[in-house]
Structure 1
Amino acid sequence: MALTDKLIRDKLHALRRELEDISNLSATSREPVALDQQSVGRLSRMDALQGQAMAQASERQRRTEIQRIDAALKRLEDGDYGCCVECGDDIADKRLEIDPAAAMCISCAR
């Protein structure tokens, strides 16, 4: 059963909002780590730097996913949603249900 354009749009917007909410909640963990070794020991600072790096990597992944969602919304607006951007074939409904931002059919994605 294919989803309607409205349901797809709503699902994509909900996913985008969720990613933005997570991004906003994790903003402090991506902030620079203080250099003051009087208040933070060397190992604690290393842990903080590692935590910051992981938070920044997660943020990059979220931003990439938001870009995929925006591209899917644009394809939906242009009437190209559900068509593989690589070969032009239809993307399977099941694939779009699982990943509504999918831009390629399963063959091209491999």
Structure 2
Amino acid sequence: MREDIDIDALRQRLLMRAHELETMAAIRREAGATVELDQTRTGRLSRMDAMQAQAMARAGDARAQDEYRRIQAALARIESGEYGYCLDCDGPIGAGRLNADPANALCLACAERREQ
């Protein structure tokens, strides 16, 4: 276990964010529901706006699901005692990096290497 980071505070932040994501999931699902407009009464632009809003809601939902999975993985690493260490090189992830995003699973060097 790392002593240079406040794991309990980071765990609480992760749990709070997971709860926020769960709360917003129902709203996102409703916004991403199938667009059913009466074509005889609704103009083409209104239908296009509704379909664009639906696509944006689905993209937002996909991002939220990805963030939720990252949070759950971070919580699992906390429980196993592996939290705060890079998944690629096993080196410590910087405290500032974890404070910025407690779900970070890679150190800065490995994250940059993956982006190339």
1:47 to 36, 49, 54: 49
- State the alpha-carbon separation in 2 of the partners of residues 57 and 35 from structure 1: 21
Aligned residues: 109
Residues 28-77 of structure 1: CA deviation (Å, up to 9, x unaligned): 21110004202322110011000000000000000000000000001111
CA distance in 2, matches of 1:92, 1:66: 22
Report the Cα offset of residue 10 of structure 1. Answer: 1.1
Partner SS for 1:57 = helix
Identity of aligned residues (%): 42
Match of 1:27 in 2: 29
Question: What corresponds to 1:2 in structure 2?
Answer: 5
Contiguous gaps of at least 5 residues in structure 2: none
Provide the TM-score with structure 2 as the length reference. Answer: 0.88
CA contact (8 A) 2:85 2:91 kept: yes
Aligned to 2:76: 74
Corresponding letter in the other structure for 1:28 = E
Unmatched segments (≥5 aa) in structure 1: none
Q: Which residue of 91, 94, 98 corresponds with 1:92? A: 94
> Structure 2 counterpart of 1:33, which letter?
V
How well do the aligned residues superpose, as a CA RMSD in angstroms? Answer: 1.2
What is the TM-score with the length of structure 1 in the denominator? 0.92
Distance across 2 between alignment mates of 1:6 and 1:24: 29
| Structure 1 residue 27 displacement after superposition | 2.7
